[in-house]
Amino acid sequence: MDVVSDLKRTPLHDLNVSLGARMVPFAGYEMPVQFPAGVLKEHLHTRAAAGLFDVSHMGQVIVRARSGDNADAARALESLVPVDVVGLGEGRQRYALFTAGDGGILDDLMIANRGDHFFVVVNAACKDADFAHLEKHIGDSCELTMLTDRALIALQGPRAETVLAELWADIAGMRFMDVRACDLHDADCIVTRSGYTGEDGFEISIPADRAERVCRHLLDHPDVMPIGLGARDSLRLEAGLCLYGNDIDTTTTPVEAALEWAMQKVRRTGGDRAGGFPGAETILAQLTSGAARRRVGLKVEGKAPVRPPAKLYADAEGKTEVGHVTSGGFGPSIEAPIAMGYVPVALAAPGTPLFAEVRGKYLPVTVAALPFVANSFKR
């Protein structure tokens, strides 16, 4: 755990403290884990109205082709991920994965086509390694800039569009995964219609010196509540979304992680630009023949939460270990404990009964389809 005095602070640190946040170390930053309302109310408020998250610890990177041709930047980025970047239209964003030579996942990220450059958002704990990875592999052909003078916020929930439309009416025309430049309260912002909760919403990059003013204006709206990392985690778990370092890492492949949907046909075997990314041999083989294990949802009987790294067994006596839990906790929206983990493919079908070891007891769990709560993205 980081020493508090060594922790970095986001541009919204003072605002978080003034709102009564309980601050904790996270990914090298001092971050709000919850506000006075508490995790449960913050979670349910986001599902019902709109929650405002400080995610300024994430890495924001500009990738610009040295040739001046954005198609060159697209090809460069595509050499590092198993997704279609070349075909990503201007004003659109796509979920992607940095993969390693053995098929493991170095990080998951978002790539947005801004027309004359790409805007990339990476995980906080990985951002320095990711930037070094980009420099090593495409630094010769692309100019790379880590944005250190911008905050990043997320406005999530069914009322997010209505709230944001009061600052920028054109927001209603954006679809899920659109990206636009806009002026919010005299701040030049980059807005994407995306998020990490399963709800409709937006992620907004704001100049650091304007961030608190924009956030205070949003928080003045009666539908908006500040939300901490605690509810962010329970929301993404209900949505079946991976947390890097828990559900995916260098020991898991995209196929094992049930992320095939992120890999478009053009990058798969038989596609016009098949392969050509790190770990392609392993990943493409698994796409064709399957992997030995798979990430699954788990519904837990009773009220006791099952948290990582709980082991999973095929029997109630704990004789046959078959997997482990990678994320787990209480799902406020469904009023029950839920989890995700890895099991052999033969045990990955929804409805399969298993047992999780919690403090020496073997609790019944059932493999469940993901997500636990249906998403409400604006298509």
Q: 114-147, pLDDT tens digit by residue?
A: 999 999 999 999 999 999 999 999 999 999 999 9
Q: Over the range 111-134, which residues count as b (16 or more CB within 10 Å of their CB) and which as e? A: bbbbeebbbbbbbbbbbeebbebb
pLDDT in tens, 56-114: 999 999 999 999 999 999 999 999 999 999 999 999 999 999 999 999 999 999 999 99
Mean pLDDT of 176-181: 98
| Whether residue 179 is found in the same domain as residue 302 | no
Distances (CA, A) of 324 to 232, 262, 337, 356: 23, 24, 16, 8
Is residue 200 situated within a structural domain?
yes
Residue identified by tokens 């592999």 is: 137
Confidence category of residue 185, pLDDT binned at 50, 70, 90: confident
Provide the whole-model pTM.
0.96
Residues 201 and 325 in one domain: no
Residue 346's pLDDT band (cuts 50, 70, 90): very high
Domain match, 227 and 296 both: no
352 inside domain:
yes
Residue 119 lies in a domain: no
Measure the CA–CA gap between 122 and 310, rounded to whole angstroms. 28
Domain count within the chain: 2
Angle value at C-alpha 340, between 335 and 342, nearest 5 degrees: 155
Per the document, the length of the chain is 379
User: Could you list the residue range(s) of the whole structural domain that residue 42 is in?
Assistant: 4-56+149-238
Angle of CA points 299, 107, 273, to nearest 5°: 105
157 in the same domain as 44: yes
Structural domain contains residue 268 = no
Single residue among 238, 262, 278 that ends a domain in this structure: 238
Residue 321 lies in a domain: yes
Residue that is last in its domain, among 201, 218, 238: 238
Q: Are residues 174 and 36 in the same domain?
A: yes
Same-domain status, 45 and 178: yes
> Which residue has 């890999």 as its token pair?
263
CATH number at residue 315: 2.40.30.110
- Residue at 356 is within a domain: yes
For residues 75 and 63, the answer to whether their CB atoms sit within 8 Å is no
Q: Is residue 122 part of a domain?
A: no
**CATH number of the domain enclosing 22:** 3.30.1360.120
DSSP reduced 3-state for 211: helix
pLDDT digit string (tens) for 247-305? 999 999 999 999 999 999 999 999 999 999 999 999 999 999 999 999 999 999 999 99
Q: CB atoms < 10 A from the CB of 365, how many?
A: 29
Residues 153 and 50 in one domain: yes
309 with 373, same domain?
Answer: yes
Task: Answer with the one of 202, 220, 238 that is the final residue of a domain.
Answer: 238
In whole angstroms, what separates CA 167 from the centre of its chain?
26
Quick one: pLDDT at residue 335?
Answer: 97
Same domain, 43 and 155: yes
Are 44 and 175 members of one domain?
A: yes
Read off the pLDDT of residues 20-63 as tens digits, 9 standing for 90 and up. 999 999 999 999 999 999 999 999 999 999 999 999 999 999 99
- Residue 8 counted as domain residue: yes
**Residue 234: both structure tokens together:** 């329970």
Same domain, yes or no, for 48 and 184? yes
As a whole number of angstroms, the distance between CA 262 and CA 252 comes to: 15
Whether 230 and 307 share a structural domain: no
